[in-house]
Amino acid sequence: MVQIVIDGQETEVEVGTTILEAAKKVGVKIPTLCHHPDQAVKANCRICVVEIEGQKLLQPSCSFPVWEGMVVRTNTPKVQRVRSNVLELILAHHAQECLFCSRNGNCELQEVTQDMHFTREVRYTNETRHGKDESSPSVVRDTNKCILCGRCSYVCDKIQSVGALCKEGRGFSTKLSSAYGKDLADSTCTNCGQCIQACPVGALTIHDDTEHVYEAMEAGKHVIAQVAPAVRITIAEALGENPGTVNKGRLVTAMKRVGFDKVFDTDFSADLTIMEEGHELLNRLQNGGTLPMVTSCCPAWIKFCETSFPEELPHLSTCKSPQQMFGALLKTWYPERSGVYPKDIYSVSIMPCTAKKFECVRPEMNSSGYQDVDKVITVQELANMICAAGINFADLPETEFDSPFGLGTGAGEIFGATGGVMEAALRTVYEVVTGEELEDVDFNAVRGFEGIKEASVDLKGIEVKVAIAHGLGNARKLMNAVKAGEADYHFIEVMACPGGCIGGGGNPIKNWKKMEKRLEGVYAEDKKLPIRKSHENPYIQKIYNDFLGEPLGEQSHKLLHTTYID
């Protein structure tokens, strides 16, 4: 431990603590822009400078460790003058479009500008304008708003191991670019949206598709929505409530008031996925199929696998994601029940995920003869629609999800967290293989935020070894082991986003503290439900009896399974 003094306050902190962290401990807020609590230090923006007694130059507090007896001043006139000059240069470089920027009111540059009471005129101008990159269905890149903090390229490279973003040029002409200057859509970008989550300003944002949904409503289409497991976990947070607040009933009411004709629950098709994927796993185990089998419900993971591990594609389950299974049913089975022609249906998915926008436009996702899912709207976009409609989300009555897909189980509910798909599969596979009831459905070994989790499950004499990776950097490690023949697992779950879909790029901006609360919300919802195993969902049993036949059967194969591009 070392003793230090910050703005006259004595304190004791651990060796290696930065001045920024020590200041936080004594309640002193130092402005930062490039600093991110989940990332390594970059010291790019220099707005966090402080004075250290005995040092001539100001030092960036985010990268400067304390030492015994250090005396720091964070708010001298010199510090404030230098910070203002740094901020002025950043503002001169940044497009002044705050009023109609999607980060307006939720922008760290605005917050720092306000906190510092920066009200003087900016003395410099920047005439250089760059074109917006709107090529990606998921992420919009606006270089004019970039403040070169380096947070997006850090997450893309160091956490996701994709490396699709980089800085280009020198000095004043430095700009954020995608690798080799390509459009994002033509790059190795997986559409995960983690760079959006990391960006402090509006330089990386969600590709907004709300206009298309309004147009479909105005055109009198039968506009139906499916709502992903993670959406119920984060929508209230997106509308200003505490992280982890879950209320499905208010969500359905709000969506009806926004103008959706029907609101269905993706938990239903998560259960369907378990039926298909569980049987596929058993089939591979019993008939010498490619093992380990790897989950296929995350579209960012699929693109990553197609790009970085094309020779390992036979490991991927052939199951479509729950979103796309539901999409296929909504334009085949549902028209038969509802009497609405598929051509008149506009099918919208509400997702925590930007990559789902990419998944729904993949050319193979048209088993119904139409594009199965017409548009994907993220949690942030839905929150904007609810706000724009003048709805007070906190004060709504509750409505049930619509039938005929009315019921999801606890197994579907946990899909939104890392380890959830695996746990849901184990609950079903155990009972199918052993023919016995699983008394304790909680598989705690596959829960939590450890980067790679492993577990072994005894199915009455048959040992099934499983692994779970979240974040593409962890997925890369696991797949390298598979490639080298060093992974003796039977089943692997991969989700591209750290934490799983509750950490998806389309959610409100996250940190790990919020993620803990979201995770608690997921398992609390699972516990509340009367049915917690997918195969016990009576609606699933009914759809197999009435329409699909059996898991892995002909009709299921046509509507619920897919192929990959190598």
- Catalytic residue list: 277, 280, 297, 317, 356, 359, 364, 501
Residue 31's binding partner among ligand SF4, ligand HC0, none (Cβ under 5 to 8 angstroms by kind) is: none
Q: Nearer Cβ to ligand SF4, position 49 or 201?
A: 201
Residue 156's binding partner among ligand SF4, ligand HC0, none (Cβ under 5 to 8 angstroms by kind) is: ligand SF4
Q: Nearer Cβ to ligand HC0, position 345 or 560?
A: 560
Residue nearest ligand SF4, Cβ-based: 504
Of 373, 408, 416, which is closest to residue 523 (Cα–Cα)?
416
Q: Which helix (H) or strand (E) holds 302?
A: helix 299-308
In one-letter notation, the amino acid at residue 289 is: G
**CA-based R_g, the chain, Å:** 25
Print the SS3 string covering 421-451. Answer: HHHHHHHHHHHHHHCCCCCCCCCHHHCCCCC
Of 197, 245, 205, which is closest to residue 37 (Cα–Cα)?
197
Residue 421's binding partner among ligand SF4, ligand HC0, none (Cβ under 5 to 8 angstroms by kind) is: ligand HC0
Residue 266's binding partner among ligand HC0, ligand SF4, none (Cβ under 5 to 8 angstroms by kind) is: ligand HC0
In one-letter notation, the amino acid at residue 314 is: P
Q: Nearer Cβ to ligand HC0, position 198 or 496?
A: 496
Q: Which residues lie near ligand HC0 (CB under 6 A)?
A: 228-230, 266, 270, 273, 297-298, 321-323, 351-353, 356, 415-416, 421, 500-501, 504
Q: Which residues lie near ligand SF4 (CB under 6 A)?
A: 139, 155-156, 160, 162, 164-165, 189-195, 298-301, 352-353, 355-356, 495-497, 500-501, 504
Q: Give me the residue label for tokens 């008149």.
A: 344
Residue 322's binding partner among ligand SF4, ligand HC0, none (Cβ under 5 to 8 angstroms by kind) is: ligand HC0
Q: Are 166 and 141 in contact (CB under 8 A)?
A: no
Q: DSSP per residue over 315-347, as a string?
A: GB--BPPHHHHHHHHHTTHHHHHH---GGGEEE
Q: Nearer Cβ to ligand SF4, position 342 or 473?
A: 473
**Residues 6 or more apart in contact with residue 59 via CB below 8 angstroms:** 19, 49, 50, 52
To ligand HC0, the closest distance from the beta carbon of 126 in angstroms equals: 38
Residue nearest ligand HC0, Cβ-based: 501
Task: Determine the Cα–Cα distance for residues 421 and 418; give it in Å rounded to an integer.
Answer: 8
Q: Nearer Cβ to ligand SF4, position 46 or 232?
A: 232
To ligand HC0, the closest distance from the beta carbon of 271 in angstroms equals: 9
- Cα distances from 238 to residues 345, 351, 394, 506, 517, in angstroms, run 28, 13, 12, 10, 14
To ligand SF4, the closest distance from the beta carbon of 301 in angstroms equals: 6
To ligand SF4, the closest distance from the beta carbon of 67 in angstroms equals: 36
Residue 415's binding partner among ligand HC0, ligand SF4, none (Cβ under 5 to 8 angstroms by kind) is: ligand HC0
To ligand HC0, the closest distance from the beta carbon of 11 in angstroms equals: 42
Q: Nearer Cβ to ligand HC0, position 6 or 422?
A: 422
Q: Nearer Cβ to ligand HC0, position 136 or 266?
A: 266
Q: DSSP per residue over 451-507, as a string?
A: SEEEEEEEETTEEEEEEEEESHHHHHHHHHHHHTT----SEEEEESSTTSGGG-TTS
Task: Determine the Cα–Cα distance for residues 333 and 337; give it in Å rounded to an integer.
Answer: 7
Phi and psi, residue 546, nearest 5°: -85, -30
Print the SS3 string covering 163-197. Answer: CCEEEECCHHHCEEEEHHHCCHHHCCCCCCCHHHH
Q: Nearer Cβ to ligand SF4, position 156 or 543?
A: 156
Q: Which helix (H) or strand (E) holds 554?
A: helix 554-560
Q: DSSP per residue over 73-91, as a string?
A: ESS-HHHHHHHHHHHHHHH
Q: Nearer Cβ to ligand SF4, position 74 or 317?
A: 317
Task: Determine the Cα–Cα distance for residues 93 and 120; give it in Å rounded to an integer.
Answer: 16
To ligand SF4, the closest distance from the beta carbon of 500 in angstroms equals: 6
**Across-strand partners of 204?**
141
Residue 190's binding partner among ligand HC0, ligand SF4, none (Cβ under 5 to 8 angstroms by kind) is: ligand SF4
Q: Are 313 and 566 in contact (CB under 8 A)?
A: yes
Q: Nearer Cβ to ligand HC0, position 201 or 293?
A: 293
**Residues 6 or more apart in contact with residue 161 via CB below 8 angstroms:** 472, 473, 476
Phi and psi, residue 181, nearest 5°: 70, 15
To ligand HC0, the closest distance from the beta carbon of 414 in angstroms equals: 9
Q: Is 248 exposed, middle or buried (0-12, 13-18, 19+ CB in 10 A)?
A: buried
To ligand SF4, the closest distance from the beta carbon of 40 in angstroms equals: 16
To ligand HC0, the closest distance from the beta carbon of 237 in angstroms equals: 14
DSSP strands (E only) in 196-281: 204-206, 222-227, 262-265
To ligand HC0, the closest distance from the beta carbon of 411 in angstroms equals: 10
